[in-house]
Structure 1
Amino acid sequence: MCGIVGIFDTRGARPIDPVLLRRMNETQHHRGPDEGDIYVEPGVGFGHRRLSVIDLANGLQPMFNAAGDVGVVFNGEIYNYRELTTELKQLGYTFRTSSDTEVIVYAWEAWGEKCVHRLRGMFAIAVWDRNKQTMFMARDHMGVKPFFYAHLPDGMFIFGSELKSLRSYPGLSREIDPTAVEDYFAFGYVPEPKTIYAGACKLAPGYCLTVRVGQPVPGPRRYWDVPFTQHEKMTESDAAGELAVRVRAAVQSQLKADVPLGAFLSGGVDSSAVVAMMAGLGSEPVNTCSIAFNDKAYDESEYAEEVARQYKTNHHTETVDTDDYALLDTLAGLYDEPYADSSAIPTYRVCQLARKRVTVALSGDGGDENLAGYRRYRLAMAEDAVRSKIPPALRRNVFGPLGRYYPKADWAPRVLRAKTTFESLARDLVEGYFHGVSIMSDAMRERLFTPQFRQRLQGHRAIDVMRGHAADAPTDDPLSLIQYLDMKTYLPGDILTKVDRASMAHALEVRVPLLDHELVEWISGLSSSIKLKNGEGKYIFKKSMERYLPHDILYRKKQGFAVPLAAWFRGPLRQRVREALLGPILASTGIFNTAFLAEIVEMHESGRRDYSAPIWSTLMFEAFLRKEMEAA
């Protein structure tokens, strides 16, 4: 686990400035505090910061083959590296280390671009082949590890594990992408492949990119996608049994480490399942950690302790004040671009706790997207069931206008509040789901932005992101489709981004066995009817875990890492909100309608509306802009 950077001359062999390269590398020191190095040759520069996890003595990067003409920098873990080492040795390759990095070097030599199909793990990779004058880059199947890049006007190509490494390169423009702003205020993050900067990109999950000296830089190429290919019919009992076996195998594959290893334990289904599987695979107690909140409304530590007692784990809990808002500015620097998931605060704290005792922690992330655990899936399916009974023309031509012109009546009895119902019925599945997950509705964003800024969008709307993914989806099953949309947007853009930055801020490696791509492939082939059944999300997963976990862990109401934003903004952060949303920084951008910002602040403070999510997203955008001004 580490941070990587690189500079590559696509036009030839211009000298690479080692001072600049080292400065880019050191912006990511937190990702790899154990050691670091750079490598420079004409036209190519690599940098690497290392968090030692496997082969502590010999894993330093950049790593080259014996001939010195193929080199790699790599962030992540290849879980099947031992099997690949055996296979590559049989092909005649000689290994000098026991690290998974060296496997990538020889996998490239043996299989070229197809090597990425052989890798099982989480990774961001750059391979330089001097003889072929080729730079090959790839990001893992699900997007667990980040990869940022930019092709600059002078022909230089730069990349790194975090946007801050690219930002330290003087040739990168800081011009903000207007469409990224529109997307951010809908999703709460900037979805792949965009970044907040017009001139920089994220390599999307499951994509690779091959750049050759002297040739035009092509677009990224998809090498993998979630298949959603239905299995042959199997009984519910058989599906539950095989799912448990496959989850155990995925967990077991991720237990290799030469440093202390443990797990997050929130008391939810997913983390509890991972811990249950870990406990059955080793002779030593599992190291587990969780955080408790001093407000019982947000605290679920008792459930974590119940699982810890059952499996006799070496469990550690620390209590966090629910008024833990001091991290606001820290988060703005951590994420490098606007990011509005407030659960980043407790995630930061649990990573901080875990790092006191382990270097590697397994998490339960990915279970909700894989196995339909979110409440919003149930709501989306209920809405879609109603829509499906109404002809599309009637929905568009009757309910559409009714939704637009029927007065909004939050004050009225529920039976008279028909506007939202009409609007919902007029939408299709993708539009309805997008509306359900948006931080700000289309109508709110219309009022948020100035007319001048809306012109700069040139017709782009945030729903275009989901429309594009829906067009590529390998399934037309409604539940599978919205799971696919989350796997392309929310999972990499929000969940995995949150965990990567929070963990690496503390030099902690987090592994996500429920996102093992082979497990994801198999789960995607299960019928939707056993993922969400009778209103029960993750139905088949819960059935598969009944022999391992108590009923109250599996079937209690889902609770997330929530923080009391609404109360903060009416109390201790009230002045901070006013200074940020109504202050000069946002006003000077020309992006925001300041009258509308004043309206949502006043409405929230008065208690008439809960605008905590829009306020938080705007607060984090303002914090990002302040960081930009400080760095200028």
Structure 2
Amino acid sequence: MCGISGVISLAPLTEVEISSVREMNRLLEHRGPDSEGIFSAEHAMLAMRRLSIVDLAGGKQPLFNEAGDIVIICNGEIYNHNELREVLRTRGHQFSSLSDVETIIHAYEEYGIECLAKLRGMFAFALWDAKKNVLLLARDRMGEKPLYLHRDGAGHLWFSSEIRSLTTVMPKPLRLSPEAFNLFLTFQYVPEPASVLQGLEQLPAAHYMLLKPDDLEALPQPYWDTSNVHEDSRDPVAVTEDILDNACRLMGTADVPVAVALSGGIDSSLVAALTARHFPGQLHAFTIGYKGRPDTDERGFAATLAKELGIGFTEVELDTGTVIDSFPELMSAMDTPIGDIAAFGYYTVAKASREAGYPVLLSGLGGDEFFWGYGWVRDAMTRNEALLAGTPIKSPWWKRLNGKKVAQKPDFFGVHADLRNGDIWSRKLMPAGERDRLPEHLWLDGASLDLSQPLHLAVSNLLNRTWLRSNCLALMDRMTMAHSVEGRLPLLDSELVDRVTGMRNDGLTDWHKPHKWLLVEALRDVLPADVLARKKQGFTPPVREWMSGIVKRFLPLVSDGALVRQGLVDANRSRTGLGEFDLPFLYKLVLLECWVRIHIEKQPIAEFTREYA
């Protein structure tokens, strides 16, 4: 795992531009504290910070092919690198290391851009091909690893793993876009492809770009399409069990100690159980608990399972006072705003893992998203199936009493009142001029079902490119990398996603089955029955208590604050017009205010904490 950055330029690079890339790289040190690497050509420069996980001595980047005319820097892990290496060796390729990243270079030489389809892993990489004078930028299928871009209009395209690094070369003052303001206060994150800052782009997941010094306007191109995958659906349980077992074996393999974030629920429990089976006595579990042990505290379940699996176990307790006091620190680590209260759990468990000497942390993230674990997503499937079949949807009796009707058209996000309110309330806060320029249905225009696809694909793809990618995966990346920890996600393994989707394309309708049916059945012989029957909680904190404390402490900052200075909140509203909003909306507003102060106005954390605590 690493942080990468660089530039491709129309004109030969100047000393100023080379220094700018070095500064971008310096700001990624937390992503890669073990070493740094620089490559510079006349029109391109690549820089990286390395977190050593595989081939600790020989895997330093940049890495080159045999001739030295193809060079790569990569953030991520290629889990099938051993298999790829053997195939490529039989075709005459010579390797200088056992690094997983080096296999990308030789796969590119052998297959060209088709090499991307052969990579089983998470990645964002930059590859410079000196023979063709071309820069290849690429991002993994699910979007686990980020890659941000900035075209400066002066003959440069800059890129980096994090926004904080890329903003050093962006025009000042930095501006939060009105679209991002509206979308964040609606969703609690800014869904791709929208970007949080004006002038900022993000390479979409499962896309690549081919850039030349004299062609910097190239657009991202997709390399993955789940509508074209197929898999025999007659025995889905056996297929899923086999892939999951192999995914946990591959992701549990590293040249450093490996841990698992264990909440006590199905997803993290199965990851722990399968991985421990391949690495007996080596895995260690970390879990989060909450002061006073509320009903959402699953430490007891996690400790019992860890003992049954014979793995080490560490628990960390969070209390409300610490959460409130550390809120500015959390915002500093979160270089894109995400209003998910679970951030504290991710951040704390990653910190504990690193401090205990475990720089790799497995997680069950993705199980709910991919295996129909959310009730509201399953409801969307059945509701939209009925509507597409011509069956009207009846309103619940309490809505009929109030004269409210259910919309009789396919929808996913639009049925949720909290999202509709977020859109309405964010617009109320804005000055009239900015509000009037904002498209009326912005939040739904980019987050609607694509019904040219089968419904299960339309729902999964929309959920993945919004909630999963822009909330969950972005949060996982920032919170783990803040502590120089590599997070790995077996339940989003690309082969698992491909083959289970292929079974759904060929007739599997597992959303009609009981909760997480495919996962539960696949792991029935691996986990105790009580774990499989347990309702979802995960790292679920005392939400209202934390939100209330944070809002009470930091809401005064909104009055004539950074969002007012950005021209996105009306000054009068900021002083007297916040009483009509509910707690979750105020939490998002406070978070965004603090985020702008820290990441746009560059207010130091020490000053922030001292002045406003």
* TM-score, with length taken from structure 2: 0.90
- Rounded to whole Å, the distance in 2 between the matches of 1:243 and 1:163 is 37
The alpha carbon displacement at 1:338 in A equals 2.3
The alpha carbon displacement at 1:322 in A equals 4.0
Q: Which residue of 2 aligns with 1:546?
A: 524
Q: Which residue of 2 aligns with 1:407?
A: none
* CA distance 1:511–1:431, change in 2 (3 Å): closer
Could you say what secondary structure the match of 1:73 adopts? strand
The alpha carbon displacement at 1:11 in A equals 4.8
Q: Which residue of 1 aligns with 2:374?
A: 374
Could you say what secondary structure the match of 1:556 adopts? coil
- Rounded to whole Å, the distance in 2 between the matches of 1:42 and 1:189 is 39
Could you say what secondary structure the match of 1:304 adopts? helix
Instruction: Give the number of equivalent residue pairs.
Output: 598
Matches within 5 A, 1:42-121: 42-121=42-121
Q: Mean alpha-carbon deviation: is it higher for 119-128 or for 12-21?
A: 12-21
Could you say what secondary structure the match of 1:125 adopts? strand
- Rounded to whole Å, the distance in 1 between the matches of 2:236 and 2:418 is 30
Q: Deviations over 1:144-191 (max 9, x none)?
A: 111111111101111111111101125577233222222212221112
Could you say what secondary structure the match of 2:92 adopts? coil
- Rounded to whole Å, the distance in 2 between the matches of 1:205 and 1:16 is 31
Q: Which residue of 2 aligns with 1:270?
A: 267
Matches within 5 A, 1:466-615: 466-467=447-448, 470-471=449-450, 475-477=453-455, 479-527=456-504, 530-533=509-512, 536-568=514-546, 570=548, 572-573=549-550, 575-593=552-570, 601-602=578-579, 611-615=582-586
Amino acid aligned to 1:621: L
Does the Cα contact within 8 Å between 1:15 and 1:43 map onto a contact in 2? no
The alpha carbon displacement at 1:128 in A equals 0.5
| Structure 2 residue ranges without an equivalent (≥5) | 605-613
Amino acid aligned to 2:369: E
Amino acid aligned to 1:347: Y
Alignment of 1:333 with 2:305, yes or no, is no
Q: Which residue of 1 aligns with 2:363?
A: 363
Q: Which residue of 2 aligns with 1:221?
A: 221
Q: Which residue of 1 aligns with 2:442?
A: 461
The alpha carbon displacement at 1:41 in A equals 2.6
Could you say what secondary structure the match of 1:17 adopts? helix
* CA distance 1:286–1:620, change in 2 (3 Å): same
- Rounded to whole Å, the distance in 1 between the matches of 2:468 and 2:110 is 32
Q: Mean alpha-carbon deviation: is it higher for 170-179 or for 59-68?
A: 170-179
Could you say what secondary structure the match of 1:74 adopts? strand
The alpha carbon displacement at 1:248 in A equals 0.3
Q: Which residue of 2 aligns with 1:195?
A: 195
- Rounded to whole Å, the distance in 1 between the matches of 2:477 and 2:547 is 27
The alpha carbon displacement at 1:586 in A equals 3.0
Alignment of 1:307 with 2:305, yes or no, is yes
The alpha carbon displacement at 1:256 in A equals 2.2
Alignment of 1:625 with 2:596, yes or no, is yes
| Structure 1 residue ranges without an equivalent (≥5) | 404-412, 605-610
Amino acid aligned to 1:240: V
- Rounded to whole Å, the distance in 2 between the matches of 1:73 and 1:360 is 20
The alpha carbon displacement at 1:309 in A equals 2.0
The alpha carbon displacement at 1:417 in A equals 5.4
Could you say what secondary structure the match of 1:495 adopts? helix
Amino acid aligned to 1:456: R
Q: Deviations over 1:570-615 (max 9, x none)?
A: 5x445424303334333333323567667785357xxxxxx22211
**CA-based RMSD:** 2.8
Does the Cα contact within 8 Å between 1:267 and 1:307 map onto a contact in 2? yes
Could you say what secondary structure the match of 1:307 adopts? helix
The alpha carbon displacement at 1:565 in A equals 4.2
- Rounded to whole Å, the distance in 2 between the matches of 1:600 and 1:271 is 43
Does the Cα contact within 8 Å between 1:367 and 1:514 map onto a contact in 2? yes
